Structure 1
Amino acid sequence: MEQESSLFQFIIEEDFKGTRLDLVLSLLIEETSRSHLQKLIEQGKVTVNGAVNNLKKYKVNTGDLVTVSVPEPVLLDVAAEDIPINIVYEDEDVLVINKPKGIVVHPAAGNYNGTLVNAILYHCKSLSSINGVIRPGIVHRIDKDTSGLLMVAKNDVAHRSLAEQLAAHSITRAYRAVVYHNFQEDEGTVDAPIGRDPNNRLRMAVNRMNGKEAVTHFKVLERFGSFTHLEARLETGRTHQIRVHMAYINHPLLGDAVYGPKKHVMGVESQMLHAKLLGFRHPRTGVYMEFDSQLPDEFKRILSKLGGTSYE
């Protein structure tokens, strides 16, 4: 039986002109490694303007129509790996982990090893099975290049409780972000539905026709003229929500090459976004629990460089 695939099409924007095709794809498909994308190109699963030949080192042009056929991940036994993880809290029902930037949460095409799930499987004897073999225990996720707090369910009862709290918007999730430009207001709310970008199926966008409800509350912590340090609180939890909403109001995240400027600034190569605060009702006791995490060293370095003082 042939393996099922997801088909994506998008048109190359001016900002990507002259960039290698495999690099462009790696920026747009976060959970698929660049090496795996190179294999897809070699296998003829990527076309540019209908052509499959001579794409290995191809540099894209503005207006190129790129089609990508990404095989769906196969169900497999994900291996436990002895990878260090920063456990903030653990009991018989839940884990709270402080994820570093650069690690993928769960296996996907081209990334079956070295993920947070591989590490959790080594640490835990049992995890919830609701999300299957690929994502055991994973109730929600944060992007590969976002750091911070993540909750994991160790059994199905805990998973259902935490998932219900997410659906009811009762879980506290507060992020820190550094974004471009200054804000006139001190706080505000972005209420705009998010769905696939109709012009680029590998990205998300504010999509009023086919998007799902998405609400982000923000508060200015420090202003630096060209940049702002924000707290962003999620009311909903759509893919790339903070990144999309901030770009939508013309304040893209520093370092976010997908939704913001492609040029690296101050040595930052990925979005400045940290999941700092996480709160939920314990699935067994019903007691509200809240966890806070320190800003990563890179985040502090950038704030210091900008002249900031709000590191707590």
Structure 2
Amino acid sequence: MINEIEQERLEWTADTEDAGERLDKFVVESIEEDVSRTLIQQWIKDGHVTVNGKTVKSNYKIAVGDSVQLVEPPPEQLLIEAEPIPIEVVYEDADVIVVNKPRGMVVHPAPGHYSGTLVNALMYHCQDLSGINGVMRPGIVHRIDKDTSGLLMAAKNDLAHQHLAGLLKDHDVDRKYIAIVHGNLPHDNGTIDAPIGRDLKDRKLYTVTEKNSKRAVTHFVVLERFASGHTLVELKLETGRTHQIRVHMKFIGYPLVGDPAYGRSKGITMDVEGQALHAAVLGFTHPRTREQLRFEAPLPAEMEHLLERLRMQ
């Protein structure tokens, strides 16, 4: 359903399920960022949202086949400020910085939410980040979800950014995650090769679908099984779709513990909100030296506590 045209430009084609919905509600539900309906209404009024190439009002009723395009207005430079937020730096040089992001931290600012993010922290710590992604996402070449902890790399100049983005595009970045899932996975290892696209019923979510989707591949290895009916799994990303691990594990019937969007409403939970998912390994070729770098981050305390509880059951 969604195709990213270029930076800050999004386009959707309305399906039968969208018919009759107000334009402002359609855009709020479609956009990936956490944006208020009031802000979207202002963007529509200012002409940043068009339907079939024409400006319309917020209460315009969507019709099947409508092409809705959003061109986000350029953010105000002063809204994105450096903030003295502590971050755990795993590695840093003149080109790259690797951090261990804590659970609960958003990676980059979004309209209406300009502070407290990893970008704000990096701007204070580094002061030199690549500008390819603009003022909203300086240095950011990939993301992990707010409630996913673990390793993330950022570029400190455009040369490094282009190199790292190329590695991601070519699937040449080693990314391994540790997760705790509901259910006892019967296979010791396997591969999930299932395309992911927008969920037609809820555009803030993703699902395995053949419609307007992209190929997604996740490899898994079982690390430990528990009598409670849970499994500790290592997952390796071959592709990097939004919510990929969370969607794939739900698809095969073993959703992540604590996942508010794709998990189960009942059962064991962690000490904090959010999915039991940690980006544990990150490996890539350095943009300047071409040295092979590999980093590991231990599980956060809340996941370790949950594992202790599971082992005692």
**Distance verdict in 2 for CA 1:73–1:191, change over 3 Å:** farther
Q: Deviations over 1:94-121 (max 9, x none)?
A: 0000000001000013321110001101
In structure 1, runs of 5+ residues without a counterpart are 12-24, 46-51, 53-69
TM-score norm. by structure 1 comes to 0.78
In structure 1, the residue matched to 2:280 is: 276
State whether residues 139 and 156 of structure 2, in contact with CA within 8 Å, keep that contact through their aligned partners in structure 1. Answer: yes
What RMSD over aligned residues (CA atoms) do the two structures have, in Å?
A: 3.3
**Does residue 300 of structure 1 match 2:307?**
no
**Does residue 118 of structure 1 match 2:95?**
no
Could you tell me which of 232, 236, 241 is aligned with 1:238?
A: 241
State whether residues 76 and 134 of structure 1, in contact with CA within 8 Å, keep that contact through their aligned partners in structure 2. Answer: no
Q: What one-letter code is carried by the residue in structure 2 that aligns with 1:280?
A: F
**Distance verdict in 2 for CA 1:114–1:148, change over 3 Å:** same
In structure 2, the residue matched to 1:289 is: 293
In structure 2, the residue matched to 1:75 is: 75
Partners of 2:197 and 2:41 in 1: CA distance:
30
Paired residues for 1:59-98 under 5 Å? 72=72, 74-77=74-77, 78-98=80-100
- Provide runs of 4+ in structure 1 moved above 4 Å: 4-11, 28-31, 36-43, 70-74
Partners of 2:285 and 2:272 in 1: CA distance:
36
What percentage of aligned pairs have identical amino acids? 55
**Distance verdict in 2 for CA 1:174–1:128, change over 3 Å:** same
Q: Deviations over 1:125-150 (max 9, x none)?
A: 21111111100000100000000000
**Distance verdict in 2 for CA 1:72–1:260, change over 3 Å:** farther
Could you tell me which of 222, 226, 231 is aligned with 1:228?
A: 231
Instruction: Specify the SS of the correspondent of 1:117.
Output: helix
State whether residues 32 and 204 of structure 2, in contact with CA within 8 Å, keep that contact through their aligned partners in structure 1. Answer: no
Task: Between 217-226 and 294-303, report the one with greater CA deviation.
Answer: 217-226
Paired residues for 1:45-194 under 5 Å? 72=72, 74-77=74-77, 78-194=80-196
In structure 2, runs of 5+ residues without a counterpart are 1-8, 18-27, 45-58, 60-69
Measured after TM superposition, the shift of residue 199 of structure 1 is 2.0
**Distance verdict in 2 for CA 1:95–1:9, change over 3 Å:** farther
Partners of 1:171 and 1:240 in 2: CA distance:
17
**Distance verdict in 2 for CA 1:29–1:300, change over 3 Å:** farther
TM-score norm. by structure 2 comes to 0.77
In structure 1, the residue matched to 2:268 is: 265
Instruction: Specify the SS of the correspondent of 1:307.
Output: helix
In structure 2, the residue matched to 1:213 is: 215
Q: Deviations over 1:161-194 (max 9, x none)?
A: 1111111111100000001100111000000011
Partners of 1:125 and 1:42 in 2: CA distance:
34
Partners of 1:187 and 1:279 in 2: CA distance:
21
Name the count of aligned residue pairs.
272
